Chain A
Amino acid sequence: NAGVTQTPKFRILKIGQSMTLQCTQDMNHNYMYWYRQDPGMGLKLIYYSVGAGITDKGEVPNGYNVSRSTTEDFPLRLELAAPSQTSVYFCASSSRQGPYGYTFGSGTRLTVV
C-alpha cells in the first residue's frame, strides 16, 4: 500500500533550469494537490486537480505548471527555476467520498542556486 509517492526526494537546480516533480497515488483518489512549505509560512497550495483532465490554480501558482492525464499521476513542472522556488514540495490526494482527509507524500526538497 504505497499511498502517495513523490520523486525525487532531493534536487539541486541551477537558475533557469527546468524540472518535473513526480507524484503518483494508488488509492484511486480523484483529488490531488501540490503544496510548497517554507519556514514560518506553513503550506501554500500551488495547484490542485479534481480529476483527470481538470486542474486549477491555488494560492501561489506563478512559475509552475501541472497536468493530470491520469487519475494516478499529477506532475508539477518548473520551467525556469528561480531561487524563490527553493522549498519543500508536498503532493497530496483525497477522496471526495466519505470523510475528508488528505494523504501526503514524503516531500521533495528543492534548492535553486
Chain B
Amino acid sequence: AQSVSQHNHHVILSEAASLELGCNYSYGGTVNLFWYVQYPGQHLQLLLKYFSGDPLVKGIKGFEAEFIKSKFSFNLRKPSVQWSDTAEYFCAVIRLVTDKLIFGTGTRLQVFP
C-alpha cells in the first residue's frame, strides 16, 4: 500500500545531542515533501518543505532535511537539539496527481536538559 513511514516512534535525547528522524514514502512520480512539528497542546506548524532543486532543505529552528530520491527518503536532522525541541514530528507527502497531503504516524521527541 502507498504510505508514508516514520520508523522512529519515540526518541529520547539529551540536550546538545544530534537528531535524525527517518521518513520514507512509497509513492512513485513527483512528490512534494514536508516536515511538520506539533508542540504539546498546539496545532501543526511547518518546519520545512521540499518541492524541487537542492535536495538539502533548511527549515526553521536549525532543522534541515535531505531528499534522497533513490531511497524514497526525506530524513529530518538537527546537529544539536534543545529542550524546547520536545514535540511530535510528522513527515508528510503530497503526490501532485492527487493533491492530498498524507502523513506519517509521527515521531515523539523528548529532550532532557
Please give the residue numbers on chain B whose beta carbons come within 8 Å of chain A beta carbons, in ascending order.
4, 6, 9, 32, 34, 42-46, 49, 51, 90, 92, 94, 99-106
Contact = CB atoms under 8 A, between A and B. Distances in A.
Given A31-B99, A42-B105, A43-B90, A100 B32 contact: yes
Interface of A: 31, 33, 35, 40-45, 48, 50, 58-59, 90, 92, 94, 96, 99-102, 104-107
A33 B90 contact: no
Contact of B103 (A43, A50, A96, A106): A43
Nearest to B90: A42
A41 B105 contact: yes
Contact of B49 (A42, A59, A99): A99
B100 A45 contact: yes
Contact of B101 (A50, A99, A102, A105): A102
Contacts of A41: 105
Contacts of A107: 43
A99 B51 contact: yes
Contact of A106 (B42, B101, B105): B42
Nearest to B104: A42
A48 to B, nearest CB: 6
A100 B44 contact: no
Given A31-B99, A45-B100, A101 B43 contact: no
